[in-house]
Amino acid sequence: MQTVSCPSCGAEVRFRSHASVLAVCEYCQSTILKDADSVRDVGKMSAVLEDYSPIQIGTAGVYDGLHFTVVGRIQQRYSAGTWNEWYVLFDDTSTGWLGDSSGLYTLTAEIADPKMLANLPAFAELLPGRQYQIDGVPYTVAEVRNAECIAGQGELPFKVGAGWRIQVADLRSYSSFITLDYTDGPQPVLYLGFAVTLESLQCQLLRDDDAIAKSAGKYRGKLEALDCPSCGSGIKYVPGAAAQLVCPACHAQLDASDQEAQVLAIGKQVHDNVDITLELGASAKINNADFTVIGMMRRADDEGSQWNEYLLFSARAGFFWLVETDDGWSRSNVLPNWPTWPSLDAERCALDGAVYTKLYDYGSQVVYAAGAFNWKVAVGDNTHVYEFEQGQTKLAAEITAEEMTWSRSVPVAFDQMSAWFGAAFHGVATGRNIKLSHKQTARIFIAIVLVLNAIPMFVSFSSTLLWSVLGCLALFLPAVFLDNNAKNPHE
């Protein structure tokens, strides 16, 4: 470890890694560049934006039997939000990066193997969902980002500053994770690693609620309110958890990551007669964790069918979605490990030994949004969705121009929703949660017709059967026609 004095304020600044060339003074935010035998101040680095991340400088853990310590961080902003890259130092003096985005984590290290660096794609040709063979392994492009560094903290292995722009792409193969960094030129730097959890890393010295309250002046998970700078209406949100807001009144897009909320875009005019079953701020205890509904959006498919999606946040358990369709409720979680899917045209995918069959392939658009989200949401956002099913479990791949995600959803019973949310759920109309399709209704009437005609069939089989068949067709065929005209992709 090397300790130097900050040229700006005189405070002690430690370089724990010999590979580190830059450190940010925690007292005055000066950026200190380490030369061969001296240090110099190269300007101020913006302070990091407070977020809900439990990681901090000094957090320690174990990966593959080797202990590590977090010694630095850069915070990046791209078109849809922000994420952290934590610089980690292992006990054997090797280094790596702990990616931290919306409660999902990856641990990677730079790989200089010429075999893996051969025939890598150009940045311009990368598209979410496209597959590439890297060292004989098929990787799928998950994200393509043009981003900029907005803040730094601790010590880092290269010189950065606010406004430093990067070009990166993330690729996945089950739990394996690759980042291709094109910042320095057409030949990318390759980082290889895996999706991880803080539990699997046995992390210690994580931030708790009190530490976050001390640094941010807010308790993680506590619902706050601010006045929309566009229209003045009050907006409830969870500070630090999701800084991208949509005003429920005027639908302006807001950024609440700084001291004052800023208007990113004036909201589009939308019809507000949306049937909302869970109000923003509704809370529930789920699996011993306290969750709050922080955001809600309504989406429509190519044929006009619509459904609601509610974003829930817990200080301890992160994010998940509750999806409300005409067929009921389901719980959806973003997958850290990706299914095997040979191509966008493939009719099957596989995950953890289970094979899922393709159900639907459709475009969707956000038609209403309100509340707080962990990425930038706006009315008119388009996504292409591929749905797969195995039993009652569904997988969904969602693809935009910059990103691809996989999620897994399972049904949630109406009684379970009532138990979770109590009066906050019972106080609204829930008719569509038990609504039957036209075909289901027709089947019930057909069964009644057959039962009522069972006895006469023994007396006059041919004539009774004929009239029974005609009656069943008269019930069923219109029902099929009505359901096809109002097809719900989540059926």
Per-residue pLDDT of 320-338, as tens digits, reads 999 999 889 999 999 999 9
Within 13 Å and on the Cβ side, how many CA atoms surround 97? 23
Task: Name the amino acid, one letter, at 179.
Answer: T
Instruction: Quickly tell me which residue has 């922000």 as its tokens.
Output: 82
**pLDDT above 50 for 26:** yes
pLDDT tier at 235, thresholds 50, 70, 90: low
In angstroms, the CA 342 to CA 324 distance is 30
In angstroms, the CA 481 to CA 491 distance is 16
In the beta sheet, which residues pair with residue 319? Answer: 313
The predicted structure's pLDDT at residue 427: 39
In angstroms, the CA 73 to CA 48 distance is 9
In angstroms, the CA 280 to CA 238 distance is 11
Q: Which residue has the higher pLDDT, 76 or 227?
A: 76
Asked if 96 and 107 touch (Cβ cutoff 8 Å), the reply is: yes
Q: What's the distance, Cα to Cα, between the start and end of the chain in Å? A: 60
* Nearest by Cα to 146 from 76, 96, 85: 76
Tally Cβ neighbours within 10 Å of residue 186.
9
Task: Name the amino acid, one letter, at 245.
Answer: L
pLDDT tier at 488, thresholds 50, 70, 90: very low
Q: What is the CA radius of gyration of the chain?
A: 27
Cα 44 to the center of its chain, rounded Å: 32
**pLDDT above 50 for 225:** yes
Least confident of 33-42, 192-201, 474-483: 33-42
Long-range contact list for 247-250, CB < 8 A, 24+ apart?
247/370, 248/280, 248/370, 248/371
The predicted structure's pLDDT at residue 433: 42
pLDDT, tens digit (0-9, with 9 covering 90-100), for 161-201? 667 899 999 999 999 999 999 999 999 999 999 999 999 99
To which H or E segment does residue 213 belong?
helix 209-216
In angstroms, the CA 29 to CA 103 distance is 26
The predicted structure's pLDDT at residue 24: 67
CA distances to 460, 463, 466 from 470, in Å? 16, 11, 6
Q: Which two tokens stand for residue 447?
A: 């069964």
Q: Which two tokens stand for residue 336?
A: 């850290």
Angle at 29 between CA 25 and CA 31, to 5 degrees: 70
In angstroms, the CA 245 to CA 262 distance is 10
The predicted structure's pLDDT at residue 316: 74
Least confident of 21-25, 57-61, 119-123, 156-160: 21-25
Looking at the chain, the whole-number percentage of residues with pLDDT higher than 70 is 64
Looking at the chain, the whole-number percentage of residues with pLDDT higher than 90 is 45
Query: Which residues does 98 contact at the CB level (< 8 Å), separation at least 6?
Result: 55, 70, 85, 86, 88, 105, 106, 107, 196
Instruction: Quickly tell me which residue has 């969707």 as its tokens.
Output: 364
Instruction: Quickly tell me which residue has 């004036």 as its tokens.
Output: 266
Q: What's the pTM?
A: 0.74
> DSSP letter at 123?
G
Most confident of 42-51, 220-229, 353-362: 353-362
Asked if 307 and 396 touch (Cβ cutoff 8 Å), the reply is: no
Within 13 Å and on the Cβ side, how many CA atoms surround 244? 18
At what angle are helices 461-485 and 438-452 packed, to 10 degrees?
A: 170
